[in-house]
Chain A
Amino acid sequence: MEINALFILWIISGLFIVFESRLYRIIIYFGIFSLISSVVYLFLGAPDVAMAEAGISAFTTVFFIIFVGKYYGNQTNITREKIEINQFFRKLKGITLPFVFCAGLFALYIYTMPDTAASTYLKEWYLSNFISDVGGKNAVTAILLAYRVYDTLFEALILVVSVVAVVHMSHFSDSSVSDGHHSEIENSGMAVFTLRIICPIIVLFGGYLVVNGHISAGGGFQGGLAVATFFICRYMVYNIYDISVKRVMQLEELIFLSIILLSIIAVFLGAAALLPTAYLPMFQRAYLILMNVFIGLKVACGFFILFYRYIAFERR
């Protein structure tokens, strides 16, 4: 029953975005939308996805606010705010046709929805076998890191590609990647003081998520996001842009290489089959933790580079 209420809140917060045209508000509404959707994920029994969505929502908000804050900051057209309801109806007039179209699509969709019972063939199999096959307690981590590690490799790869693309496509030359000067804008002293306390907590917590990924909710990706948040805090504390992106990129690629090699050795070639059975649980645990740590580091590096690149946009 609670889940219905949450779903309705979710849809309402989505509708906010449709009928809004000012970018700052859209970003805030989007933040709320992501928050609510991540809670719904949690209620549906998907803690890992919920945690990832929470981290992602923070990062998307930051990315968008950097972009919008840079370019709409100096706009001077401050207009008087209209009453929301009137605006809504005026908009509704012009968009009747698409609305009817989408409503028709929706009706068609519901009408043709298949009414078979959900099949649970793989679910049963995974749940009963993953502890002996892969080890650990978290079935999601087991699937990500062992059964479908081939997918995970490409998922890690796409992050590498996106980092390379962002670095390649940004306008400035590589020499000005980090300037090492303080920004003009300063945070308040109280904020800086508190952030300094919070920063180590964030890193510790990220590390905890990474290392405990195989026995509890969390994992490499979520922990990596938390660690990457540390860099945002660091930027806010020191207001300085000084870490060399090039080095971090090299580090990221090195980690990516080791992820590939590790998965080749452990999964593709089936090294576990060669071991005596007494050592098998230890090997499995070592593999899961090592893989989680690598993925966490890689994600942290990747998001750090993305954040710095956007900040560099902002600082110019």
Chain B
Amino acid sequence: MIFRYLEVFSIIMFFICIFGLITCNNIVKSIIFALMMQTAVIMFWLTIGRGSIPPIIDNTALLDNTSYIADPLPQALMLTAIIIGISVTAVIITMLNTLFRKHLMTDWKAMEKAEDEAFKESLYGDHLKD
């Protein structure tokens, strides 16, 4: 059995982020946890393809023993994942910005309460009132 102890660090981080997502009360904090979760996943990918030499081949003599060279594919994939993450985060922050303008808070509970009331008002109307 191979116990990969370096991977465990990123998995610990992943579960810390899940823990944070379950417990935190602030929307900004939740966004940051989502970003951190992504960082943990990226760390995992880079750990499984790690190597002491980066995949930049200055002279071809390096290629004789490829076991020290890092795996280039996870790096390329993770670059893509990073850009996707920041783009989505930008959209989320914009949405949060306009929401804040309306409610003047970034609290999950209060925000959900206010939004749910508006939602129920528009969909259920007077059926909810006794």
Which A residues are within 8 Å of any B CB, using their own CB?
3, 7-8, 10-11, 14-15, 17-18, 21, 23, 26-27, 30, 33-34, 37, 40-41, 44-49, 52-53, 56, 59-60, 63-64, 67-68, 71, 95, 98-99, 101-103, 105-106, 109-110, 113, 115-118, 120, 122-124, 126-128, 130-131, 137-140, 142-144, 148, 151-152, 155, 158-159, 161-162, 165-166, 169-171, 215-217, 221, 299, 306, 309-310, 313
User: What separation, in Å, do the CA atoms of A235 and B49 have in the docked complex?
Assistant: 40
Within 8 Å CB of A116, what residues of B? Answer: 2
Once the chains bind, are A47 and B56 in contact (CB under 8 Å)? yes
User: What separation, in Å, do the CA atoms of A101 and B75 have in the docked complex?
Assistant: 32
Within 8 Å CB of B94, what residues of A? Answer: 165-166, 169-170, 309
Within 8 Å CB of B80, what residues of A? Answer: 144, 151-152, 155
User: What separation, in Å, do the CA atoms of A24 and B69 have in the docked complex?
Assistant: 40
Within 8 Å CB of A128, what residues of B? Answer: 63, 66
Once the chains bind, are B93 and A15 in contact (CB under 8 Å)? no
Q: Which 5 A-B pairs have the closest CB atoms?
A: A45-B70, A139-B72, A162-B87, A139-B55, A143-B76
Label chain A's interface by main secondary structure: helix
Once the chains bind, are B8 and A110 in contact (CB under 8 Å)? yes
11 CB < 8 A contacts A-B: A41-B46, A44-B43, A44-B70, A71-B106, A120-B66, A120-B71, A139-B55, A152-B80, A161-B87, A162-B91, A169-B94
User: What separation, in Å, do the CA atoms of A1 and B95 have in the docked complex?
Assistant: 43
Given contacts A21-B26, A115-B2, contact A46 B13 (CB under 8 A): no
Once the chains bind, are B9 and A165 in contact (CB under 8 Å)? no
**Minimum Cβ distance to chain B for residue A74 (Å):** 11
